[in-house]
Amino acid sequence: MKLVWLRRDLRSVDNTALNNAIASGEPVTAVFIATPEQWQQHHMAPRQADLIYRRLDELQKELQALNIPLLYSEVSDFAHSAQRISEIAKLFSASEVLVNQEYEVNEQKRDKLAQIALAEQGIDWLSLHDKCIVPAGSLLNKQGQYFKVFTPFKKAWLSAASIPRIQPTQSAPEMVLPDEVQGLLWSKEQPFSYPREDSSQWAADFETIRAQLRTFCQERVDDYQQRRDFPATDCTSSLSPYLAIGALSARQCMARLYAESNSGNLSQGAQTWLSELIWREFYQHLLTFEPKLCKGRDFLNWGRYVIWWQDNEKFERWCRGETGYPIVDAAMKQLNQTGWMHNRLRMIVASFLTKDLHIDWRWGERYFMSKLIDGDYAANNGGWQWCASTGCDGQPYFRIFNPITQGQKFDGKGAFVRHWIPELRSVPEKYVHAPWLWAGVNLVLYPARIVDHKAEREVTLDMYKQARDKEIHVA
């Protein structure tokens, strides 16, 4: 019997470990092990936990149709999950445990512990590349070094990648579970002690998720490049929550993108969306070469010398969406109320936290993970360090988003701001992104600006210059 240990790969279609187990011709069992204390350490959002919980219920039905039982267990952390998988494998007399590899440091340590525990029982371990279209860590430049800049990475990626072919998942041989393990079968009666918040606005069944992918590729992707930055319109794919928990694979996305293209020639919009998928892989690629990224460290060495401000009050106002800058506040309210934020807005609010409030990007990184339904460590860390200018291929430190002009450019009529901040609905369009300039604004209802952007921009330039100078001096 083959045992497939599912983690952030909660799908029955295009699952490398699952397909490999089925191809063996032996009976197959799948297992998911919840680790609430570990999730807490990783700041998992309760909405993401709820999506995982609901997805397990749908996945159980999908696997049942393939003659594959879905087992479930809950332990405290990764170390205990490594021990638990060996216990379950022994209980089932499994010949092999198969997993899809994860690249973060804690996940790598967990898998090493599991492999050791299984080896002591004579049970094989097979770890497979699955999360990325081009396996993370497999692309190197001509000097044999890993890519530190996105554009050459993308060029190498496009040369290495081929259009995936998604095959239907075959059924496994039928198996009868012994009575003593019936209690391990997944059901909603199983303990799932991690806090959950309602994620019902996001589908959990595969058919709906796949339909969403197809609809986007058929109807909206061609305009993606022109319309993706406008948060008041529904122009993005909104598939990131499914990629984050593995309910959908990047290969499925790429395959569908080309299936809907004109003779394999991608439109400009489709190429731009493919670039977003490649960005996700770029950040996974970096984790394989720079474990320090999983340890709260800056990618660029000079980042360690930035003297961040420890201002809890301003940070809390940023978290609540009470900065007095409408586009920032509307974005944070969207995040707090829905668990999701438009990508353009993620850049705006991250720039504001680090370069207007001078607060450590790590504070924002943790807060995002605690709220985002699509929280993915590599993508979140990469995005935050990009905005803070301390990361790989990050925006130059002297480029600082202006929250007023960003709002005017991407929410010109203020539709997004008015939706999330009702107290600004009566503000004229001319002033909606700078309401303090309108004589009729009621600052009792809407807060005054927390800082003056123009002044704080100069502070940031000086902070970063000092950090860079110090790094040169120390070196």
Nearest-10 crossing angle of helices 377-388, 343-351: 50
| 343 is an active site residue | yes
Residue 98 makes CB contacts below 8 A (sequence gap 6+) with 2, 3, 4, 5, 17, 18, 20, 21, 126, 127, 128
Asked if residue 197 has pLDDT above 90, the reply is yes
Report d(CA 82, CA 33) in Å as an integer.
9
Amino acid 443 reads L
Of the residues 308, 423, 456, 471, only one is catalytic, namely 308
Of residues 394 and 372, more confidence is placed in: 372
Q: Which residues are annotated as a binding site for FAD?
A: 224, 236-240, 273, 276-283, 374-376
DSSP one-letter string for 421-467: -GGGTTS-GGGTTSGGGSTT--TTTSPPPSS-HHHHHHHHHHHHHHH
Q: Among 84-93, 123-132, 175-184, 337-346, which is the least confidently predicted range?
A: 175-184
pLDDT at 443: 62
Asked if residue 444 has pLDDT above 80, the reply is no
Question: What's the pLDDT band for 439 if we cut at 50, 70, 90?
Answer: confident
Report d(CA 151, CA 422) in Å as an integer.
41
| CATH architecture observed for domain 303-469 | Orthogonal Bundle (1.10)
Asked if residue 308 has pLDDT above 90, the reply is yes
SS3 of 317-354: the string is HHHHCCCCCHHHHHHHHHHHHHCCCCHHHHHHHHHHHH
Task: Domain ranges for the chain, please list them.
Answer: 2-130, 131-165+206-289, 303-469
Is domain 131-165+206-289 classified as CATH 1.25.40.80?
yes
Q: Which CATH class is domain 2-130?
A: alpha beta
Q: What is the pLDDT of residues 164-175, one digit of tens each?
A: 999 999 999 998
| 276 is an active site residue | yes
pLDDT at 81: 98
pLDDT at 176: 86
Q: Which residues are annotated as a binding site?
A: 224, 236-240, 273, 276-283, 374-376
| 279 is an active site residue | yes
Asked if residue 139 has pLDDT above 90, the reply is yes
pLDDT at 440: 72
pLDDT at 442: 67
pLDDT at 475: 58
Report d(CA 204, CA 157) in Å as an integer.
31
Q: Among 31-40, 321-330, 464-473, which is the least confidently predicted range?
A: 464-473
Of the residues 26, 37, 74, 276, only one is catalytic, namely 276
Q: What are the distances in angstroms from CA 170 to CA 13, 28, 176, 372?
A: 9, 11, 18, 34
Q: What is the pLDDT of residues 332-364, one digit of tens each?
A: 999 999 999 999 999 999 999 999 999 999 999
DSSP 8-state code for residue 239: -
Of the residues 5, 125, 202, 384, only one is catalytic, namely 384
Q: How far apart are the first and last CA of the chain?
A: 56
Total number of residues shown for the chain = 475
pLDDT at 68: 98
Of the residues 361, 363, 386, 420, only one is catalytic, namely 361
In whole angstroms, what separates CA 251 from the centre of its chain? Answer: 16
Asked if residue 445 has pLDDT above 90, the reply is no
Asked if residue 406 has pLDDT above 80, the reply is yes
Of the residues 343, 423, 438, 456, only one is catalytic, namely 343
Mean pLDDT of 241-268: 94
| 384 is an active site residue | yes
Mean pLDDT of 208-234: 95
Question: What's the pLDDT band for 398 if we cut at 50, 70, 90?
Answer: confident
Of the residues 5, 125, 157, 279, only one is catalytic, namely 279
Residue 218 makes CB contacts below 8 A (sequence gap 6+) with 260
